[in-house]
Amino acid sequence: MDWNFTDTWIVVTGALCALACALPGCFLVLRKMSMMGDAISHAVLPGLALAFLFTGSRESLPMFLGAAVTGVLTALFTQWINRFANVDRGAAMGVVFTTLFAIGLVLIVRAADHVDLDPGCVLYGSLEFSAPIVPGEVPRAAIVNGAVLLLNIAVIALLYKELRLSAFDPALADTLGFSSNLLHYLLMTLVAVTTVAAFESVGSIIVIAMLIVPAATAQLVTRRLLPMLLVASAVAVLSAVLGHLGALTVPPLFGFSGTTTSGMMAFAAGLIFTVAWLVSLMPRRRGAAEGHRPGDLAAGP
Amino acid sequence: MHHEHPPDYPLTVHDLTVAYQRKPVIWDVELNIPEGKLVGIVGPNGAGKSTLIKACLDLIPKTSGWAHIYGKPYRANRHLVGYVPQRESVDWDFPVSALDVVAMGTYRRLGWFRRVGRKQRAAAMEALEKVGIGSLAHRQISQLSGGQQQRVFLARALAQDARVYFMDEPFAAVDAATEQAIVTLLKELRERGRTCLVVHHDLATVGEYFDWTVLLNMRVVASGPTAEVFTDDNLRKTYGGRLALLDRAANALTRS
């Protein structure tokens, strides 16, 4: 195996991106809104396409804003359809994100006539091309994902108790004066921003894996929120490392020259989840030491 | 018809109607609840008991009318209100401990951004001990029995230190020990001058637990001191022809 500074940067960028996704992902999973990450990651496409069409360049700021706005709109439209048309939230989400994604695809084909834009790259990401060619240079994708990671850490650290409260009991949050709606949209904004940043490096399809799989894995092995965030972060980093190692070593075994790191990252995350699930199935020795389980106690009539 | 609504009452409701999908659930509700009472809200399934509570707390929109807490809209006097939702309203697999959940009761005074500190944890611990499960403070909440989970919710309401409490079926599916613990707690709250509105299902215990009763079936059938309004006639009006329930009601009446 041939490892050089490019590989290091690919892993670092992948890890930063996975970390940035895993943190808000924990709250999505706890709110039972895992598919919202999927919806937003698809629905940001028209925002990106419109930003291309209006600015005619791949300038990052307009793209970022366009995608973030459509991401938040997805959450807003879903809420509206759910509430005012009385359609189930999952179905409402399905309607909103497929429609927005379709608009995005149409726009992107249109935009591709004018701008150099590869739909494949949008879907699957270009982690390999994000790494610098010259040693000592920090790739832009690492800076963007790192910045988003810092933003996510800052928001979660600052609003830890509020986010936890509104995820656990939104009605109580409202009666205590912490608007659960406001916190919902804040979280959706974080997811949208994170998705856009991750878009470039891992692509929209794999964002959903990094938003959900580390969080779901962590939920299997811990019973507290803070450890859950930490375990999810560890799984995210591990997926990035294993993913890139896998992309370098696994395909040659089958006679291929190589595969995408982002794809292997999602696969590695799935593998880690499977291991965690199998471990969680094993009988717990700690449970016996804790004394009686809820089943032992009077459960009432 | 003219209605008086004294502003110093913990809850006054005027002309309150709530509809889901244009189908009214509660109609023209008029209520005056005096301070320091244990109030049972009683009625058949689908009578709108939870709806009434939720509408008073702005958790669902009102179609018409208003509900005031100490003479002001809920928004203005939110700090005086404690809410105990139905146990099934939350996910008990959520990764928090019993103490974490009870400490949530202190969040309002804590405000935005500030963290839970030693003082809040001590208050939460005290509330847990009051409901008799201090030793389970560090359990993850899914490791508690149904009755213990209900006590966690009550401890959280205690930690809120409100003046008027809205409790949605706290006695639903709890063991006898928990039921006794809740009753003791309600009486203690009354001694401290607090008002508790409790959605209640078991007609047999209404006379024993509550000194004020609201009989509800879409409309308020009767509201007043339990001894006056918990009558055969009113129960018949509330429950209609549901014989099994009426039998139980009759039993309750002979007992009380």
| Residues 63-122 of chain A whose Cβ lies under 8 A from any Cβ of chain B | 86
Q: Does A284 touch chain B (CB under 8 A)?
A: no
Q: Kindly state the percentage of chain A with pLDDT values over 90.
A: 34
Q: How far apart are CA B112 and CA A159, in angstroms?
A: 8
Nearest-CA neighbor of B24 among B47, B7, B8? B47
Please compute the mean of the pLDDT values over residues B223-251 and round it to a whole number.
Answer: 78
ipTM: 0.85
Sheet with B164-168, strands from edge to edge, namely B81-84, B164-168, B195-200, B38-42, B212-217, B219-225
Query: How remote is the C-alpha of B11 from its chain's centroid?
Result: 12
Per-domain residue ranges of chain A: 5-205
Q: pLDDT tens-digit profile of B106-138?
A: 999 999 999 999 999 999 999 999 999 999 999
| CB–CB contact B107 A167 (8 Å) | no
Nearest Cα of chain B lies from the Cα of A219 at a distance, in angstroms, of 8
Q: pLDDT tens-digit profile of A118-135?
A: 555 555 566 666 666 666
Q: How far apart are CA B45 and CA B38, in angstroms?
A: 21
- A1-10, A56-65, A88-97, B76-85 — which is least confidently predicted? A56-65
DSSP reduced 3-state for B26: strand
Q: Determine the pLDDT at residue A25.
A: 95
Q: Determine the pLDDT at residue A297.
A: 39
| CB–CB contact A176 B96 (8 Å) | no
Residue A301 has pLDDT above 50, yes or no: no
Q: How far apart are CA A30 and CA B105, in angstroms?
A: 20
Please compute the mean of the pLDDT values over residues A246-269 and round it to a whole number.
Answer: 81
- A100-109, B24-33, B56-65, B97-106 — which is least confidently predicted? A100-109
Please compute the mean of the pLDDT values over residues B36-56 and round it to a whole number.
Answer: 93
Residue A105 has pLDDT above 80, yes or no: yes
- Give the pLDDT band (50/70/90) at residue B43: very high
Nearest Cα of chain B lies from the Cα of A157 at a distance, in angstroms, of 9
Q: Looking at domain A5-205, which of 1.20.1260.10, 3.30.300.30, 3.40.50.300, 1.10.3470.10 is its CATH number? A: 1.10.3470.10
Give me the residue from B79, B83, B96 closest to A168, CB to CB. B96
Residue A44 has pLDDT above 90, yes or no: no
Most confidently modeled range among A243-252, B43-52, B118-127:
B118-127
Q: Determine the pLDDT at residue A299.
A: 36
- Give the pLDDT band (50/70/90) at residue A24: very high
Residue A107 has pLDDT above 70, yes or no: yes
- Contacts (Cβ under 8 Å, ≥6 apart) of A235: A22, A213, A214, A217, A218, A269, A272, A273, A276
Query: How remote is the C-alpha of A82 from its chain's centroid?
Result: 23
| CB–CB contact A228 B108 (8 Å) | no
Q: Determine the pLDDT at residue B240.
A: 79
Q: Does A128 touch chain B (CB under 8 A)?
A: no
Q: Kindly state the percentage of chain B with pLDDT values over 70.
A: 93
Supply the pTM of this predicted model.
0.85
Please compute the mean of the pLDDT values over residues A196-210 and round it to a whole number.
Answer: 76
In sequence order, what DSSP letters do the residues of chain A get, joined into one string?
----HHHHHHHHHHHHHHHHHHHHHHHHHHTT-HHHHHHHHHHHHHHHHHHHHHHSS--HHHHHHHHHHHHHHHHHHHHHHHHHS---HHHHHHHHHHHHHHHHHHHHHHHHTTS---HHHHHH--HHHHS-SSTTPPPHHHHHHHHHHHHHHHHHHHTHHHHHHHHH-HHHHHHTT--HHHHHHHHHHHHHHHHHHHHHHHHHHHHHHHHHHHHHHHHHH-SSHHHHHHHHHHHHHHHHHHHHHHHHHHHHHTT-----HHHHHHHHHHHHHHHHHHHHHSPPHHHHHT---GGGS----
- Give the pLDDT band (50/70/90) at residue A117: low
Sheet with B72-73, strands from edge to edge, namely B23-33, B11-20, B64-69, B72-73
A interface test, pick of B88, B90, B133, B138 with most A CB neighbours within 10 Å: B90
Nearest Cα of chain A lies from the Cα of B233 at a distance, in angstroms, of 30
Q: Determine the pLDDT at residue A258.
A: 65
Q: Determine the pLDDT at residue A129.
A: 65
Strands B219-225 and B212-217: antiparallel
Residue B111: what are its φ and ψ, rounded to 5°?
A: 80, 180
Q: Determine the pLDDT at residue A300.
A: 36
| CB–CB contact A161 B115 (8 Å) | yes
Q: Determine the pLDDT at residue A51.
A: 82
Q: Determine the pLDDT at residue A149.
A: 96
Residues of A within 8 A of B176 (CB-CB) are 298, 300-301
Q: How far apart are CA A44 and CA A251, in angstroms?
A: 32
| CB–CB contact B78 A175 (8 Å) | yes
**Chain A: residue whose CA lies nearest to B87:** A169
Two structure tokens written together for A136:
């000592």
Please compute the mean of the pLDDT values over residues B167-193 and round it to a whole number.
Answer: 91
| CB–CB contact A224 B95 (8 Å) | yes
What does DSSP assign to residue B143?
Answer: G
- Is there a contact between B200 and B233 (Cβ–Cβ < 8 Å)? no
Average pLDDT for chain A: 82
| CB–CB contact B104 A301 (8 Å) | no
Most confidently modeled range among A127-131, A271-275, B21-25:
A271-275
Which parts of B78-220 fold into alpha helices (H)? Answer: 98-103, 107-110, 118-130, 146-160, 176-191, 206-209
Please compute the mean of the pLDDT values over residues A286-300 and round it to a whole number.
Answer: 41
Residue A153 has pLDDT above 70, yes or no: yes
Q: Determine the pLDDT at residue A116.
A: 55
Residues of A within 8 A of B95 (CB-CB) are 30, 219, 222-225, 227-228
Q: Determine the pLDDT at residue A290.
A: 43
Residues of B within 8 A of A228 (CB-CB) are 95
Residues of A within 8 A of B108 (CB-CB) are 176-177
Q: Determine the pLDDT at residue A274.
A: 95
Element (H, E) at B235: helix B232-239
More confident residue, A290 or A182: A182
Q: Determine the pLDDT at residue B225.
A: 96
The torsion of the CA quartet A148, A149, A151, A157, rounded to 10 degrees, works out to: 160
Q: Does A288 touch chain B (CB under 8 A)?
A: no
B interface test, pick of A169, A225, A228 with most B CB neighbours within 10 Å: A169
Q: Determine the pLDDT at residue B250.
A: 62
Most confidently modeled range among A48-57, A197-206, B117-126:
B117-126
- A40-49, A130-139, B97-106 — which is least confidently predicted? A130-139
Residue A113 has pLDDT above 70, yes or no: no
Q: Does A157 touch chain B (CB under 8 A)?
A: no
Q: Determine the pLDDT at residue A36.
A: 84
Residues of B within 8 A of A159 (CB-CB) are 112-113
- Give the pLDDT band (50/70/90) at residue A293: very low
Nearest Cα of chain A lies from the Cα of B1 at a distance, in angstroms, of 33
Chain B residues near any Cβ of chain A (below 8 Å): 21, 54, 57-59, 78-79, 81, 83, 85, 89-91, 94-97, 100-101, 104, 107-108, 110, 112-113, 115-116, 140, 142-148, 156, 160, 173-178
Most confidently modeled range among A56-60, B216-220, B252-256:
B216-220
Residues of B within 8 A of A223 (CB-CB) are 95, 140, 142
| CB–CB contact A177 B58 (8 Å) | no
Q: pLDDT tens-digit profile of B152-162?
A: 999 999 999 89
| CB–CB contact B104 A224 (8 Å) | no
| CB–CB contact B145 A294 (8 Å) | yes
More confident residue, A213 or B244: A213
More confident residue, B209 or A281: B209
| CB–CB contact A30 B147 (8 Å) | no
Q: Determine the pLDDT at residue B45.
A: 87
- Contacts (Cβ under 8 Å, ≥6 apart) of A103: A45, A46, A49
- A283-292, B74-83, B119-128 — which is least confidently predicted? A283-292
